[in-house]
Structure 1
Amino acid sequence: MYVSPTSPVGLCLDMCSERERREREQCGRIHPFEMQKGQSNRRNYGKGSRQIADPGGTVKEYSRPAAGKELYSPRDLRPPAILLKTVQYLLLEIWGNVDEKDSSSLSLAYSFVFDRLRAVRQDLTVQRIRGTEGAAILEGSLGFLLCAPYLVRDLSLQVYCATLHSTQVRESFAELMECYSKGGRFPRQAEFQALLLLYDLGNMNTMHRALQLPHSIKNATEVRLAFAINRSYLERNWVRLFRLVHQLDCLQACAFYRHLPDCRNQIIRTYTHAYSSRNCHFPLTKLTSLIAVDSPFQASNKCKRQGLVVISGECEFVVFHKASIKDVDLEGPGREIQLVEKKKENLSWAEIMMGQEKFTG
Structure 2
Amino acid sequence: MSVTWRGSLLSGPAGSKRGSTGPSSSRGRVWRGSSGGSQPAPSTDDSARGAKTRAPSRGGPRGGRGRRGDISGSSAHPTGASGRSNAGPFRGNDNGKLDESHSVLNNGSRSNGGQENGIKAPPVFGSRSGTSSGQSLRPSSPFGSITNTNGPFTDRSRDPRRQSAKFSGGSAKSGKPQDYNTRYEQLKLDRAKQRTEAVKSGQMADPNQPISLTSAITPTGTCTEMCPEFERVERIVQKMVDKSEKYTDQESGVSHTVEAKMLKRFRRSAAGYDEQLPSDIRTPKTLLQTMNYLLRYVVEDDETLATTHKFLWDRTRSIRNDLSIQQLTQAQDVSIAVKCLERIARFHIVALHLLSSPENSEPFDHHQEREQLNNTLLSLLYYYDDNRNLIKFPNEDEFRAYYIVFSIHDQRPDLEARVQNWPRELLRSPRVQVALELFAAAGNTWEYQGTLDAKRPNAIAQGLYARFFRLIQSPSVPYLLACIAEIYFNQVRQTTIRSIWKAYCRHPISQQHKNQEWTVDELTGTLAFDDNNQTIDFCEEQGLQFATNADGQMYLNWGQFPLDSVGA
TM-score normalized by the length of structure 1: 0.78
Letter of the structure 2 residue corresponding to residue 58 of structure 1 = M
Distance 1:269 1:226 in 2: 24
Distance 1:88 1:155 in 2: 30
Give unmatched runs, 5+ long, in structure 2: 1-215, 444-460, 506-511
Distance 2:227 2:484 in 1: 30
Distance 2:252 2:562 in 1: 56
Q: Say which of 526, 531, 538 aligns to 1:295.
A: 531
Partner of 2:502: 273
| 2:556 is equivalent to residue 319 of structure 1 | yes
Distance 2:419 2:302 in 1: 36
8 Å CA contact 2:545–2:560 kept in 1: the answer is no
Partner of 1:163: 367
Encode CA deviations 1:254-308: one digit per residue, 9 max, x unaligned.
2122211221122122212212243331354343222221123322332344313
Q: Residues 118-137 of structure 1: matches in 2 within 5 Å? A: 118-129=317-328, 131-137=334-340
Question: How far 1:149 moved relative to its partner?
Answer: 2.1
| 2:244 is equivalent to residue 33 of structure 1 | yes
Distance 2:551 2:296 in 1: 49
Q: Give SS of 1:282's match.
A: coil
Question: How far 1:320 moved relative to its partner?
Answer: 5.6
Q: Say which of 522, 546, 557 aligns to 1:309.
A: 546
Letter of the structure 1 residue corresponding to residue 298 of structure 2 = I
Letter of the structure 2 residue corresponding to residue 136 of structure 1 = K
Question: How far 1:21 moved relative to its partner?
Answer: 0.8
Q: Give SS of 2:247's match.
A: coil
* CA 313–28 in structure 1, closer or farther in 2 if over 3 Å, else same: farther
Question: How far 1:152 moved relative to its partner?
Answer: 2.2
8 Å CA contact 2:221–2:281 kept in 1: the answer is yes
Single out whichever of 65-74 and 311-320 deviates more from structure 2: 311-320
Partner of 1:145: 348
| 2:433 is equivalent to residue 224 of structure 1 | yes
8 Å CA contact 2:491–2:567 kept in 1: the answer is no
Single out whichever of 156-165 and 88-97 deviates more from structure 2: 156-165
Aligned-residue CA RMSD (Å):
2.8
Distance 2:480 2:495 in 1: 24
8 Å CA contact 2:222–2:283 kept in 1: the answer is yes
Q: Which has the higher contact order (CA 8 A, sep 6+)?
A: 2
Distance 1:289 1:135 in 2: 40
* CA 132–210 in structure 1, closer or farther in 2 if over 3 Å, else same: farther
8 Å CA contact 1:195–1:255 kept in 2: the answer is yes
Question: How far 1:37 moved relative to its partner?
Answer: 4.1
Encode CA deviations 1:192-232: one digit per residue, 9 max, x unaligned.
00011111114324443223211111111111011001111
| 2:202 is equivalent to residue 7 of structure 1 | no
Q: Residues 1-361 of structure 1: matches in 2 within 5 Å? A: 6-38=217-249, 52-67=256-271, 69-100=273-304, 106-129=305-328, 131-153=334-356, 154=358, 159-182=363-386, 183=388, 184-203=391-410, 204-232=413-441, 233=443, 234-247=461-474, 248-276=477-505, 277-280=512-515, 281-305=517-541, 306-309=543-546, 311=548, 316=553, 318-319=555-556, 321=558, 323-325=560-562, 327=565
Q: Give SS of 2:498's match.
A: helix
Question: How far 1:146 moved relative to its partner?
Answer: 1.6
Encode CA deviations 1:80-123: one digit per residue, 9 max, x unaligned.
222122223223321222544xxxxx443111111111111110
Letter of the structure 2 residue corresponding to residue 28 of structure 1 = K
* CA 44–17 in structure 1, closer or farther in 2 if over 3 Å, else same: closer
* CA 216–145 in structure 1, closer or farther in 2 if over 3 Å, else same: same
8 Å CA contact 2:404–2:436 kept in 1: the answer is yes
Identity %: 23
Single out whichever of 112-121 and 29-38 deviates more from structure 2: 29-38
Distance 1:284 1:107 in 2: 33
Distance 2:354 2:365 in 1: 13
Single out whichever of 138-147 and 202-211 deviates more from structure 2: 202-211
* CA 73–273 in structure 1, closer or farther in 2 if over 3 Å, else same: same
TM-score normalized by the length of structure 2: 0.51
Distance 1:14 1:314 in 2: 70
Distance 1:16 1:251 in 2: 31
Question: How far 1:13 moved relative to its partner?
Answer: 1.5
Give unmatched runs, 5+ long, in structure 1: 46-51, 101-105, 331-361
Which of 1 and 2 has greater Rg? 2
8 Å CA contact 2:547–2:555 kept in 1: the answer is yes
Question: How far 1:191 moved relative to its partner?
Answer: 0.5
Letter of the structure 2 residue corresponding to residue 129 of structure 1 = L
Q: Give SS of 2:555's match.
A: strand
* CA 42–73 in structure 1, closer or farther in 2 if over 3 Å, else same: farther
Distance 1:262 1:108 in 2: 29
Distance 2:238 2:540 in 1: 53
Number of corresponding residues: 314
Letter of the structure 2 residue corresponding to residue 301 of structure 1 = D
Distance 2:519 2:481 in 1: 30
Distance 2:249 2:495 in 1: 52
Letter of the structure 2 residue corresponding to residue 126 of structure 1 = I
